[in-house]
Structure 1
Amino acid sequence: MFSISDIRLDMLATHYVGNKANGEDIYISKELVELESHELKSVLLQYFLTPFQEAASFHFWHASDLKLHEIMHFASAIFDNPDEFALQSANIARHLHEATNLPNIKSGEVHIAYFKGCPVDGKMVDAIGIYKTESKEKFLKINQTRGGYLFEPDEGVNPNKMDKGCLIFNIEREEGYRVHVVDKTNKGNEAQFWKDIFLKVRASADEYHTTHDYLKLCKEFIVDQIPGEYEVTKVEQIDYLNKSVDYFKKKEEFNKEEFEQEVFKIPELIDSFRKYEKQFEENYEVEFANNFDISSQAVKKQSRVFKSVLKLDKNFHVYIHGNSDMIEKGYDPQVGMNYYKIYFEEEN
């Protein structure tokens, strides 16, 4: 996840790409989109960046040589010389048109954006966004007149719904850049077009991203899935979170069976975790090995979002770092309120 609050949208080009297989043409804009309106920039930043805050990480790849990868070539030209943005945005649109050789791929506008100040792994880097809008929604414009109101039907793009997109961060160039991908319009074979045919990307499999993604899996399972299947207290949830992070902190290599036994222990809970892991792999297009090297950098970053805080109304925040057996929950019928009893040996 990355924050979008300080990211700047520097340039934007929009072209139209028809379906070449159906004989549809391409339209290349002669000018960039004007971005003087602060309100417009704000809406575009939300539209272009929000869907990628939880997106999986990929890299460009080529069967023989990354230098032959078209999108990577165009992106590198922009990163090396931003003055070529307009020229290379047109090349990206033409490449998309050439790749659209399946009759069921929808036509639409392609937007190429240039961002500055993207926070990635503690660094501020530039990024290039490529987006395609295929779906338009009908809406009503309501205008006040002298005698009342005028309703006008129209259609446009919902800024809260992205069809297809990718973000190319200017890091890890030799590995094919860090790339995040979104495709929410197609399933099955059609979904392969954007990711596999046009972008040609593969899921990142280095130890940093593997560790990062597995900790993300653990957090989602503990916070979102367990409460729906079992009766667990907040203290028990925090205990599972702490045990997960502690395992990654004290180990150099991940062992799946060992992790499951140390953290979840109960066979039914382990089975549930394995099912959730398979679903996670499908949703984020990743595949976890049973053993992998642990990245201490990824653990340090992800441990920040593993909240071990027990919030009691608006009065108390209890930080739990381990040994949940020292905390008891109860209910006082006379007072009509819940309570926690905490045992300790020394007060510091």
Structure 2
Amino acid sequence: MVTFFEASLDTISVHHVGNQSQGEMYSLSDEPLELKDEVIPALLLQYFLKPFEKANEVYHLMHSSGDLFLNEVYNFTTKVFEDQQKFQEASDQLAKHLYSVSTHPNIKGGEFYVTYFKQVQIEGDLLDAIGIFKSENKETYLKVYPDQGGFAVDYEQEAININKLDKGVLIFNIEKDNGYKVVVVDKVTGGQDAAVYWKDEFLQLRIRNDSFNQTTNTLGVYKNFVTQKLDEEFDMSKADKIDLLNRSMKYFKEKETFDLDEFAEEVISNPEAITSFKNFKTQYEEEFDSPIADSFEISGNAVKKQARVYKSVLKLDKNFHIYIHGDKDLIEKGFDDGKAMNYYKVYFKEEA
């Protein structure tokens, strides 16, 4: 999704933003950071950009009122894209804006970086991008070095691990009228109540409704339907539920395009369950204001991501786990009156 082989770090300003509910303040630098050698920019590129290589979701900046110009991050970044001489001023304003939303007691203070990158690639386009980052977690590092014919050990506290970016966002200079193309990293700390401030309060994002998002949402809605809703209307064993999940994953892996009616007939089959699923899908769309098209191109990356959380394991007390990957007709459930226990009978040809 995002690559930085040709990217360069043009400008960077560093500030410190505390938590105002804890009585902490913010501290602003007077001017951009001067990078005196080639090592530091290379390390910063790795620290800031490498986490975005696995970012699949693309967002847009937005405002709850519908007026995009009321989004502070949109306003400040637009000024920089239009006139890079306003970079330092905009970085100050961004730091103040982050401080204004840092009110939850569990939000950690930390260094706040605003950067201007050139030649960052997203979806095949080489673009300028503004990066905004915050480091909240620090670590202690040991340093071993030669000393008087042997070695000595020292340490450095409150250091930053360049392989662990806490929070970051890249705002690309494209699709301005839609709120730009935006990708985000948000390592959750301090609990969910504290976590929402980065995406929801500071940035104010809405996810782009593309094939990745459509695929993710459809698989997620279907999984919730099978695991939560079916029990209310149908008498189903866990093995049957796992079979329904496996069949849906098989459909998404084999097809290039999703079609709601085709999916319902091939995967769900039962007319009453099909009607229930379509109603469940409609309720989701209304509740989360996230429409899902009846037909869309399937995203392979989204399928791979969802496959990790699709469970095909039948857990039996604490003694056995049965992994069901194929034909559910090869497994039978029964009840043993003598032992007063349930049992499963499994058919197979060879033992691996």
- TM tier, shorter chain? 0.5 to 0.7
What's the CA shift for 1:196?
Answer: 1.0
Change (3 A) 1:16 1:8: same
Q: Which residue of 2 aligns with 1:325?
A: none
* Whole-angstrom distance in 2 between the partners of 1:101 and 1:192: 11
| Deviation readout 1:57-108 (Å, 9 max, x if unpaired) | 2211112211111111000011111121111111111111122122221111
What's the CA shift for 1:192?
Answer: 0.8
State which of 189, 193, 196 in structure 2 corresponds to 1:189: 193
Change (3 A) 1:291 1:211: closer
Q: Which residue of 2 aligns with 1:168?
A: 171
* Whole-angstrom distance in 2 between the partners of 1:169 and 1:49: 13
Q: Which residue of 1 aligns with 2:207?
A: 203
* Whole-angstrom distance in 2 between the partners of 1:216 and 1:9: 38
Kindly name which structure, 1 or 2, has the bigger radius of gyration based on alpha carbons. 2
Change (3 A) 1:151 1:31: farther
Q: Which residue of 1 aligns with 2:147?
A: 145
Q: Equivalent residue of 1:113, what SS?
A: strand
* Whole-angstrom distance in 1 between the partners of 2:146 and 2:29: 34
* Whole-angstrom distance in 2 between the partners of 1:7 and 1:241: 35
Q: Which residue of 2 aligns with 1:128?
A: 130
| Deviation readout 1:269-291 (Å, 9 max, x if unpaired) | xxxxx9xxx9xx9xxxx997553
* Whole-angstrom distance in 1 between the partners of 2:294 and 2:181: 21
* Whole-angstrom distance in 2 between the partners of 1:181 and 1:305: 17
Q: Equivalent residue of 1:171, what SS?
A: coil
State which of 237, 255, 269 in structure 2 corresponds to 1:244: 255
Conservation of the 8 A alpha-carbon contact between 1:16 and 1:109:
yes
Q: Which residue of 2 aligns with 1:97?
A: 99
- The TM-score normalised by the length of structure 1 is 0.65
* Whole-angstrom distance in 1 between the partners of 2:25 and 2:135: 16
Q: Which residue of 2 aligns with 1:23?
A: 23
What's the CA shift for 1:166?
Answer: 1.1
Change (3 A) 1:21 1:214: closer
Q: Equivalent residue of 2:54, what SS?
A: coil
Q: Which residue of 2 aligns with 1:34?
A: 34
Q: Which residue of 2 aligns with 1:180?
A: 183
Q: Equivalent residue of 1:10, what SS?
A: strand
Q: Work out the percentage of aligned pairs sharing the same amino acid.
A: 35
Unaligned runs of 5+ in 2: 221-241, 244-249, 271-276, 304-352
Q: Equivalent residue of 2:137, what SS?
A: coil
Q: Which amino acid aligns with 1:58?
A: Y
After superposition, residues 303-322 of structure 1 pair within 5 angstroms as none
Q: Which residue of 2 aligns with 1:236?
A: none
Q: Which residue of 2 aligns with 1:118?
A: 120
Q: Equivalent residue of 1:291, what SS?
A: coil
* Whole-angstrom distance in 2 between the partners of 1:216 and 1:120: 25
Unaligned runs of 5+ in 1: 218-228, 231-238, 249-253, 268-273, 307-348
Query: Do residues 159 (structure 1) and 162 (structure 2) align?
Result: yes
Q: Equivalent residue of 2:255, what SS?
A: helix
| Deviation readout 1:102-127 (Å, 9 max, x if unpaired) | 22211110011111112223322111
Question: What is the number of residues matched between the two proteins?
Answer: 262
* Whole-angstrom distance in 2 between the partners of 1:127 and 1:141: 35
Q: Which amino acid aligns with 2:145?
A: N
Conservation of the 8 A alpha-carbon contact between 2:11 and 2:33:
yes
Q: Which residue of 1 aligns with 2:59?
A: 58
* Whole-angstrom distance in 2 between the partners of 1:260 and 1:151: 64
Q: Which residue of 1 aligns with 2:6?
A: 6
* Whole-angstrom distance in 1 between the partners of 2:108 and 2:31: 24
Change (3 A) 1:73 1:290: closer
Change (3 A) 1:13 1:291: same
* Whole-angstrom distance in 2 between the partners of 1:138 and 1:203: 36
Q: Which residue of 2 aligns with 1:318?
A: none
Q: Which amino acid aligns with 2:68?
A: L
Q: Equivalent residue of 1:159, what SS?
A: coil
| Deviation readout 1:192-226 (Å, 9 max, x if unpaired) | 11111111112222x45535767999xxxxxxxxx
Q: Which amino acid aligns with 2:142?
A: L
* Whole-angstrom distance in 1 between the partners of 2:295 and 2:178: 19
Conservation of the 8 A alpha-carbon contact between 2:135 and 2:167:
yes
What's the CA shift for 1:131?
Answer: 0.7
Q: Which residue of 2 aligns with 1:84?
A: 86
* Whole-angstrom distance in 2 between the partners of 1:150 and 1:170: 49
Q: Which amino acid aligns with 1:118?
A: V
Change (3 A) 1:305 1:8: farther
What's the CA shift for 1:260?
Answer: 6.8
Q: Which residue of 2 aligns with 1:67?
A: 69
What's the CA shift for 1:163?
Answer: 0.9
